[in-house]
Amino acid sequence: MTKDIAYRVFICFSGLLILVVINGLTTTTMSVFDKTLLHEFHWTRTELKFRDSIPNATAFLLIFFAGSMIDKFQVKRLLLLGALVLAIALGCYSTIQSIREAYFMHFLFGLAYCLAGPVSAIILVSSWFNKRKGLALGFTLAGTSLGSVIFPNIIHHWIILYGWRTTFLALTIFPIILFFYILFFVKSRPQTPVLTDSNAIKVSVLEGLTFKEATRTFTYLVICVCGFLTFYSLLSVVANLHLHITDIGLSEQYATGMLSLYFGVAFTGKMLITTLSDYVNIYRLFSICCLILTLAIGLFATVNPALIVWATVGMALSWGGIYSMYNVLTVRTFGLKEAGKINASINMFESAGGFLGPIVTGYLHDQTHSYQMAFMLVAIIMGLATVLSFFLGKNG
């Protein structure tokens, strides 16, 4: 293995590590704290789930700006700033006394996600790879699930041993270590452009459509709408999954185990399905995953404890593929010329869906005292996304 190839592999590992920490400590992993916070502060579930939606609202408002900064400046600078913001947010979370303070901490989580989350990691890794891009991005994006496999059990045990405030303070060690890792070892891009040899013509992978050109295509529009609907659907369920499982009579430990199972299977899905996308029609593969996700959410809507494992596995496997393929098909379709703006603008739609999903689902639970109706609505919305996905790749 040459030194150049070895460093490309290292960059893949670095992208995975970045997402393990950033996604693992800013997204649905935080739901492990839900029961403890509800017991101490007596918030309603609508209030609690609004907290979970704030990072997505923040991403909706700021991620396009962050993507533009990636196109203008080295992505490494944004990664460093994101790790620092996350460390500050986790440390301050240990001192909160009100729901408003919790909301502000989740705003900081959203800011860290914008700066050092999937968009930045995708641009980092894509700048180093052309061949086997699906495999490289699949491995990197698996970090979004791996972090959520690792941290729920750590958090669960630390809360029992030390309490929730000390747990938040202890979690700051992870983004601090990440900050220095990026500072000393990660480079934004190769000194010479990565080239592809297609039809005997060498072209820099930094070429592609401009943001303006991409937004005029039909595929871009469908990706945006599907992004809104799928993120609404997925985060509606995952953000409420821990509470749903305990509501139907299963233990908190079992609920935490299901979260770990979900993210573990999603990790496998991201690796397996994204690698497969190097060899088959990525748009049709995406549609199949959407269909499986729709069926899995339908199983949750039955509120049958016996179906929890099957629903969790189906949702995780399909979502692992959907999440990764959004990024792979975006890079493949539009290139890297202005990938920061393009990916960030699509992420705005995803974030808008992710913002609304947990709030609406939490509200419907408060009104009906069950997640059944809420999850039935989510299954219908995901079904619509499945139908739309079959238009991907058509007419430009």
CA-to-CA separations, 45 to 131, 371, 395, in angstroms, rounded: 46, 12, 44
DSSP conformational letter for 196: E
52 confidence band (pLDDT: 50, 70, 90): confident
Q: Which of 123-137, 163-177, 342-356 is least confident?
A: 123-137
Rounded distance between C-alpha atoms, residue 86 and residue 165, angstroms: 16
Report, as an integer, the average pLDDT of 112-139.
Answer: 83
Q: Which residues contact 182 (CB under 8 A, 6 or more apart)?
A: 14, 18, 76, 79, 80, 83
Residue 206: the pLDDT is 52
Percentage above 90 pLDDT, the chain: 44
The amino acid that residue 155 corresponds to is I
* Partners of 335 in the β-ladder: 208
* Position with higher pLDDT, 271 vs 308: 308
Give the CA distances from residue 382 to residues 174, 318, 319, 378, in Å, rounded to whole numbers and listed in that order. Answer: 35, 12, 12, 6
* pLDDT class of 201 with cuts at 50, 70, 90: very low
The sign of the torsion formed by the CA atoms of 232, 355, 316, 31 equals negative
Provide the pLDDT for residue 277: 76
Q: Check pLDDT > 70 for residue 205.
A: no
Residue 109, sorted as left (phi over 0), alpha (psi -120 to 50) or beta, turns out to be: alpha
Under 8 Å between Cβ of 249 and 231: no
Contact 335, 194 (CB under 8 A): no
**Residue 204 binned pLDDT confidence (cut-offs 50, 70, 90):** very low
- What pLDDT, on the 0 to 100 scale, is given for residue 6? 86
Q: pLDDT value at position 202?
A: 37
Strand, coil or helix: 186:
coil
The CA angle 335-340-341, to the nearest 5 degrees, is 100
What pLDDT score does 196 carry? Answer: 45
**26 neighbors 55 (Cβ within 8 angstroms):** yes
Report CA Rg, the chain: 20
Report residue 108's pLDDT band, with 50, 70 and 90 as the boundaries. Answer: very high
CB environment 160-177: b (16+ within 10 A), e (fewer): eeeebeebbbbbbebbbe
Token digits of residue 95:
């001192």
Tokens read off for 357 = 């999903």
Start-to-end CA distance of the chain, whole Å, equals 39
What pLDDT score does 293 carry?
A: 96
72 φψ region: left (φ > 0), alpha (ψ -120 to 50), beta (else): alpha
Beta pairing partners, 201: 198
Q: Of the CATH numbers 1.10.3720.10, 1.20.1250.20, 3.30.479.30, 2.40.160.40, which one belongs to the domain with range 3-187+205-389?
A: 1.20.1250.20
What are the backbone dihedrals phi and psi of residue 201, each rounded to the nearest 5 degrees, phi first?
-115, 120
Residue 183 Cα to chain centre, angstroms: 24
Distance CA 385, CA 396 (A): 19
Average pLDDT of every residue of the chain: 86
Q: Between residues 90 and 242, which one has the greater pLDDT? A: 90
Query: At 337, phi and psi to the nearest 5?
Result: -55, -50
Q: Mean per-residue pLDDT for 360-384?
A: 93
Cα angle 343, 344, 346; round to 5: 65
- 68-100 pLDDT, tens digit each: 787 677 889 999 999 999 999 999 999 999 999
**Of all residues in the chain, what percent carry a pLDDT higher than 70?**
93
Q: In this predicted structure, what is the pLDDT of residue 230?
A: 96
Among 13-17, 264-268, 317-321, top mean pLDDT goes to: 13-17
Q: Is a pLDDT exceeding 60 seen at residue 213? A: yes
For residue 115, the model assigns a pLDDT of 92
Mean pLDDT of 175-203: 70
Contacts of 68 (CB under 8 A, 6+ apart): 340, 341, 344
- What tens digit of pLDDT does each residue of 274-290 get? 778 778 888 899 999 99
Residue of higher predicted confidence among 314 and 130:
314
Residue 246 pLDDT exceeds 50? yes
Question: In the structure encoding, which two tokens stand for residue 84, read together?
Answer: 């620092």
pLDDT above 60 for 197: no
What does the pLDDT read at residue 331? Answer: 76
Instruction: Check residue 278 and report its DSSP letter.
Output: T
